[in-house]
């Protein structure tokens, strides 16, 4: 039974799941859902995901939605070790992940930003300002929370975790929107370590950018 990921190349949530699938060694087929063309609101995709979002993952005879839920499933079924066994430590790692995936990402969602900036005299500039307004504080908070961990070399220690998988797509967005992160050295150290990992390299949006 093949594994199919319905995603969009620049979607942060899709990027998280691609990283996890590569980390878990799960071969998968990608089916593009073009957000800019409105394909996520087409009847065939709404049948897969009533919220009209990406990603959707067909795996093991199941159809799964919501990236964090998908990451939990992969962690539980593939023994990925994305969370510490100690409940308190696991809660700290989840808190880091949620700082970007739950608090920053939703307000930077394409539909939210389009709605918020549609009446602006210069929507493109307003979009950039909106992204910077929300991404920068979230990443600064992530950096501060890293003080609780001995970073060697990933966000929460020597092994990759849920926090790394959620951070890297948000850093991609930060760079895209010219968010100043120069004063966040621990985050950049994590990014350097992750960039050297084949799973992160294979999942990177630049590997999947449409031609033209």
Q: pLDDT 10s digit of each residue in the chain, 212 long? A: 799 999 999 999 999 999 999 999 999 999 999 999 999 999 999 999 999 999 999 999 999 999 999 999 999 999 999 999 999 999 999 999 999 999 999 999 888 998 999 989 999 999 999 999 999 999 999 999 999 887 789 999 999 999 999 999 999 999 999 999 999 999 999 999 999 999 999 999 999 998 76
Q: What is the pLDDT of residue 170?
A: 98
Residue 59 pairs with which residues in a beta bridge?
62
Tokens (6 digits) for 212: 């033209």
User: What's residue 111's pLDDT?
Assistant: 87
Q: What is the pLDDT of residue 8?
A: 97
6 DSSP assignment:
E
Paired tokens of 170: 């948000």
Q: Tell me the C-alpha to C-alpha distance, in Å, between residue 85 and each of 94, 148, 164.
A: 12, 17, 17
Token pair 């990406």: residue: 54
Q: What are phi and psi of 143, to 5 degrees?
A: -55, -45
Q: Taking the model in full, what pTM does it have?
A: 0.96
Cis omega (within 30 of 0) on the bond before 153? yes
CA distance 129 to 7: 26
> What residues pair up with 167 in beta bridges, in sequence order?
none
For residue 42, give both structure tokens: 């087409």
């Amino acid at each position: 039974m093949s594994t199919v990921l319905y995603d969009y190349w620049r979607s942060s949530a899709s990027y998280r799941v691609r990283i996890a699938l590569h980390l878990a060694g799960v071969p998968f087929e990608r089916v593009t859902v073009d957000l800019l063309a409105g394909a996520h609101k087409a009847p065939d995709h709404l049948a897969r995901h009533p919220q009209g979002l990406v990603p959707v993952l067909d795996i093991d005879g199941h159809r799964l939605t919501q990236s964090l839920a998908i990451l939990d499933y992969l962690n539980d079924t593939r023994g990925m070790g994305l969370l510490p066994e100690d409940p308190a430590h696991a809660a700290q790692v989840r808190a880091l992940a949620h700082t970007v995936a739950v608090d920053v990402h939703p307000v930077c969602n394409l539909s939210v930003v389009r709605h918020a900036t549609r009446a602006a005299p210069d929507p493109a500039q307003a979009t950039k300002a909106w992204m910077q307004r929300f991404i920068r504080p979230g990443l600064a908070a992530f950096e501060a929370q890293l003080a609780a961990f001995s970073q060697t070399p990933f966000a929460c220690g020597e092994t990759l975790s849920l926090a790394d998988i959620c951070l890297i797509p948000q850093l991609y967005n930060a760079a895209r929107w010219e968010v100043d992160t120069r004063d966040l050295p621990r985050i950049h150290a994590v990014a350097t370590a992750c960039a050297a990992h084949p799973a992160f390299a294979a999942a990177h949006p630049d590997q999947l950018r449409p031609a033209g």
